[in-house]
Structures are given as C-alpha cells and as structure tokens.
Structure 1
Amino acid sequence: MSPLLNQLRADKLIAIVRNVPRQHLRPAAEALLQGGIQFIEVTLRPGDGDVSREMLVGIEELKKYFGASIHVGAGTVLTCAGVDAAAAVGAEYILAPNMRPAVIHRAKEKGLLALPGAYTPTEIEEAWCEGADIVKVFPADSLGISYFKALRGPLPHIPLAAVGGVSVENVGSFLAAGAVVCGIGSNLVNEQRAASHAWDEIRTMAAAYRRSVQEFTEKR
C-alpha cells in the first residue's frame, strides 16, 4: 500500500470542491487545511472544456502554493485524456462517479490513486478487480448506511468510500458501517459559501467533520 493511500485511509476525509471559481480555490483550501482536512478533490466539468481547464490550472496552483501540506485530486475524471491532464498538473489521485477500466488503468500507469464510482456489488467488485485503490460508492445517502453494512458481508476485502450526502451527523455512522473514507461535498464547500467568502464557516465545518471522525476513531 502506497504512503499516500495509507494517509488517505488514516485521514478518512476528502473535501469535494465543485463549482467554485478558480480564484476562490486557494482560500477554500486554506480554510479546509486550518479545519483539519488535507485531502481536497477539485472537480472537472465534462462537456465544458473551459471550466475543466480552469480547474486543472487551479489544481496546479494549489500544489505549488501548499506543497505537501495538502493532497489534491481531480474529480469527475471520465476519460484517459482526463487522467493525463490531471497528472500533468500534479493531481495525486482521480475520482469519478462511474467505473471505466481504461481510466483506472491509466491512473495506475501515471502513478495516481484511482477512486472510481460504483453502485452495485457487481460494479464494486469489478472496479476492485480492475485495480481501484478505493471504490467510491455513490450516491451514499440514497443507498443508506445499511447498504454499506450489507456490503461488508460478501465484500469485506474491498475498501469503500461513501460519497453523497455525508453530514457531520452521519459521517461516523458511515465509517462504522464499513466505509474507510468519506467524501464531503456541498455540506462543506459550496458555491454560495465561496461567493460570500465564508471561509470561517468552511473552517468551522471542516473542524466539525474532523471532530466527528476523531470521535469515531476513539470509540474503535
């Protein structure tokens, strides 16, 4: 297991930054880091090349500014070209809402962690067999905590990430049910908070998620 994967599994949280303008990425990342979250996913926007290019530049800028203090990944990476573009700007991992074997393989060839998305046990197992480091179960809130518990029976060897609707109140429950990582989206960083420069609010929410994870860890 790579050091980065070890750290991700220890940290247990990825902040998903979506629909946030490039100029707001740095203060958002600063607030997240101050709140105790080091893993940040900057999502691309398939079908909108201009926005995706802006986000790739944003990833590169974050890596240059923060260095090893944060770990930045690219989200909604649907193609091998997207993997190449993410790797070129310093992304350390890629995430997707779906599972394409070619994308997983390219990520591994580039030395990136691969967190493809899956929904059913068949998709989850296929993603794992294709080389996924962690399989992102999405949307987690629609499937429910009981779904993660059920998956642990036949698939205890596959590390899962819960993404979609993970709140401060339920993050510990998802982890207890078997998720090794949780991805936090608009409950933490969203377009409105960025537009209003609500960095203190993001910092406070990040710290709340970190406390919830710590409480889960202490109970184990």
Structure 2
Amino acid sequence: MARGKTEMRRIENPASRQVTFSKRRNGVLKKAYELSVLCDAEVALIIFSSRGKLFEFSSSSIEKTIDRYMTYTKDVNIKQGAVEQSVQNLKSEASTTAKKIEHIEAQKRKLLGESLGSCSANELQELANQLEESLRQVRKRKHFILAEQIAQLKEKERSLLEENKFLREKLKGGSMLQLNVEEVAANVESMGVELELMIGRPGTC
C-alpha cells in the first residue's frame, strides 16, 4: 500500500511529535554518515530538539568543520563586499558621467542660441567669450590650412616650370638636329650632281 504524503506542519500531539522526531533524526544522521563515506565529503550535523537536547554527527570534527565554515563564509562575505563596493563605484561613476553629459548638452544648446531665457548676464557674457575664442580657433585653423594649400600650389608651380624648361630645351635640341640632317642631305645632293657631271662622255663637260 502506498504511503500517504505527510503534510508539512507542526505535529500538535506531543507523543506523536516525539516519535516522529526520533525516527527522522536517526534517518538524517544515517544519511549524513552515508554521504560522508560514499562521497568522501566533510559533513557536520547539529540538531537541537524542542527540549534543547543536542544531537550531532561529524565525519571529522565538529569544531574543525565549524572553523572551516566560518573561514569560508568570511571569505565569501569579503568577496561579496568587494563586488558590492565595485558595483557602487560603477554606479557612482555612471551617475557622474551622465551629469557631465547633461551639462555638456545644455552648454551645446546654449552655444547654438537655445535655452537662453534662464541665463544671467554673466552667463551670457561667458557664452560670448567662448564663442569668440571658438571663432578665433576656427580662423587660426583656416589660415593654417590655406597656408599649407598655397605652399603645395607653389611647389607644384615650381615643378611644372622645371618640367616646361626641360621640354623646351629638349625641343630646341631636336630642332638643331633636324637642321643638321637637312644640311647633310643638301650636301649629298650637291655632290651627286657634281659626280654626275664628271662621269659624262668626254668632250661633253
């Protein structure tokens, strides 16, 4: 016959409660012993009855197991404390960063001419100074970039002039060579005429 499920509530009858305590206590102590032997685990079990009577089991020593437990929980608490402190630091840093971003966004809107209704005269003057300084920096950067571009254009102009000079000299040299070839051809043609005259029939010259 199947055993019925026991309802988890305090047993009101003292005699039944004592019997149940004795049976289940022995079962728990047996399970603790089996766990320590089968699994090579360090087990310590402490039970106080409703009358204050102590029952205990330990695979080694109750005191050593308790000391080990205290050391372990202390280390865990220290680690948890360090983690919690780190989380708090990150939250504080995130909050500070969010405030800085909000301040920067507000300054940006003011520099763009927005949300100026709540600004005092001193704040407006400070904004004007910031705009003037920004404008000065922009002009300085602009002049620097223009100077670089001018220098690059001048260098390009110098390179083109040198290349043009080289091409002119090369072209001039080619013209002189062409003139020399034409002179040689004319001389050869003249010599050919003279030879032709010299090799004619006697008495014809």
Structure ranking higher in helix proportion: 2
Structure ranking higher in strand proportion: 1
TM-score (norm: length of structure 1): 0.20
TM-score (norm: length of structure 2): 0.21
Greater gyration radius: 2
